[in-house]
Amino acid sequence: MSRARGWAALAFAAGCGGAPTPVSAPAPAAPTAAEGAPPAAAGAPLRVGWQTTWATEAQLATLLATGSFLQDQGFAPTFVPFTYGAPLNEAALGRAVDVLFTADQPALVLHSKDPSWGVIGRLMVNRVGLLSPPGGPVAAPADLRGRRLAVPFGAAAHRHALAAVGAAGLQPGNDVELVNLGVEEIDALTQAGAPGGRWGELDAVAVWDPTFAEIEERGHGRLIAQDLAVGLVVMDDRYVAAQPDAPARFMTALGGAIRAMQADPEAAHAAAIQAGLRASAPALRRAAAVEPNLGPASGPPRLTLDAAELDRLRAAGDFLVRAGIVPAVDVEGALRPTARPAAGGAASPSPAAEAPPADGAQPWAPEGRAP
């Protein structure tokens, strides 16, 4: 199945009124009432914006699109695909979607432009980072002086790239030339090889998982910097006005998809690949390893942001303002009640970002786990 046909088939299957196509993971028990309100009347249309180049979001979106989790919560979903967060934001501003999966930076940019978009829950964490050709001259961010760095503008990896360059004492635009390039184009360039220690005319790239993990799996890149981004679920308040319990019901459905992936992660990886995700199963395993909800000791899915993730979100907001990307960010105003932990409740810790190995060339795995 071609990638375009795969995503189109997913959107069609999720948007039709017929029975959903099952995945091989067993359907989990319904989440408890604490995770969401009882479903409202069946069939409320819902346009879900999601990203076809992002793991582990793509696996969860595929499970939601092909399973009955959203239908069981009273939604009639249509899945609208995008390659990354910036064009998805444009669609949200044009009210072409009702709810979306995105990273911390695009979510805050969207809210700053239209405060009716609010964070209703936690999706996941994923890696973002800078990589360079293994035989090239760039082994650390400071080596980017006078060189070209490609990054999809507006993505969370864009913020990380700017932060890494700035921490190295370099000024983007003056010391380092930033090139706006889509993640799919970046993936194709890295696969083509790096004669002379460069990917075409590029000295380094900023990407996220699974492209990040795939470059590592192939041995096509050297890690020079990395961080974690927080994945979020964002919904339009105008939709909530007509469906007041929609945030709780949507997060309940997402909790069901997470439980299905906990039960059979290989089935979730395979379903996303079959639908068109450009990644290998080993790369998807590596990418999923940083997500606490999918760890070996994971329990009931955590659908709210913990203290560390809230701090990361606030830091992202501060960075966006300092960098002049937006004039102001109201992080607290962007958070809806379903995104916050219950008062006095303890949330599980988020994994800390680890430094790359000293030689910058070895695979990375969280907490010593094999990728």
Q: Give the per-residue pLDDT at 330.
A: 97
Cα dist. 281→265, 274, 278, 290 in Å? 10, 11, 10, 15
- Is the pLDDT at 175 greater than 60, yes or no? yes
pLDDT (mean) for 216-233: 94
**Cα end-to-end distance, the chain, whole Å:** 27
Whose CA is closest to 191, among 175, 205, 170?
Answer: 205
Residue 305 has phi, psi (to 5 degrees) of -80, 135
In the 8-state DSSP scheme, what is residue 296? T
- Is the pLDDT at 251 greater than 70, yes or no? yes
Are the C-beta atoms of residues 331 and 313 closer than 8 Å to each other? yes
Confidence class of residue 42 from pLDDT cuts 50, 70 and 90? Answer: low
pLDDT (mean) for 342-360: 39
Are the C-beta atoms of residues 32 and 82 closer than 8 Å to each other? no
Residue-wise burial string across 117-141, b where 16 or more C-beta atoms lie within 10 A, e elsewhere: bbbbbbbbbbbbbbbbbeebebbeb
Most confident segment among 4-18, 171-185, 350-364: 171-185
Q: Give the per-residue pLDDT at 331.
A: 96
pLDDT (mean) for 360-369: 28
- Is 3.40.50.2020 the CATH classification of the domain at 128-228? no
pLDDT (mean) for 68-72: 97
pLDDT (mean) for 209-237: 94
Provide the pairing of β-strand 204-208 with 117-132: antiparallel
In the 8-state DSSP scheme, what is residue 220? -
Which residues, in sequence order, are CB contacts of 43 under 8 Å at separation 6+? 17, 74, 75, 76
Superfamily of chain region 3-126+230-339: Periplasmic binding protein-like II (3.40.190.10)
pLDDT (mean) for 64-91: 95
SS3 category, 308 = helix
Say which residue, 223 or 24, is predicted with more confidence.
223
- CA–CA gap between residue 325 and residue 317 (Å, rounded): 10
pTM: 0.79
Whose CA is closest to 67, among 299, 256, 233, 248?
Answer: 256
Mean pLDDT of the chain: 83
Q: Give the per-residue pLDDT at 369.
A: 25
Most confident segment among 40-44, 149-153, 252-256, 319-323: 252-256
In the chain, the amino acid numbered 191 is: Q
Question: Which segments of the chain are extended strands (E)?
Answer: 44-51, 75-82, 99-103, 117-132, 147-151, 176-180, 204-208, 222-236
Residue 131 has phi, psi (to 5 degrees) of -130, 155
- Is the pLDDT at 136 greater than 80, yes or no? yes
pLDDT (mean) for 61-88: 95
Q: Give the per-residue pLDDT at 48.
A: 98
Q: Domain coordinates of the chain in residue numbers?
A: 3-126+230-339, 128-228
- Is the pLDDT at 14 greater than 90, yes or no? no
- CA–CA gap between residue 165 and residue 154 (Å, rounded): 16
CATH topology of 3-126+230-339 equal to that of 128-228? yes
Residue 165 has phi, psi (to 5 degrees) of -65, -45
Q: Give the per-residue pLDDT at 343.
A: 60
Under the phi-then-psi rule, with left for phi > 0, alpha for psi from -120 to 50, and beta for the rest, what region is 15?
alpha
Under the phi-then-psi rule, with left for phi > 0, alpha for psi from -120 to 50, and beta for the rest, what region is 169?
left
Confidence class of residue 290 from pLDDT cuts 50, 70 and 90? Answer: very high
pLDDT (mean) for 244-253: 98
Q: Give the per-residue pLDDT at 362.
A: 29
Tokens 């299905």, located at residue? 260
Q: Give the per-residue pLDDT at 236.
A: 98
Write out pLDDT tens, residues 96-112. Answer: 999 999 999 899 999 99
Percent of the chain with pLDDT over 90: 68
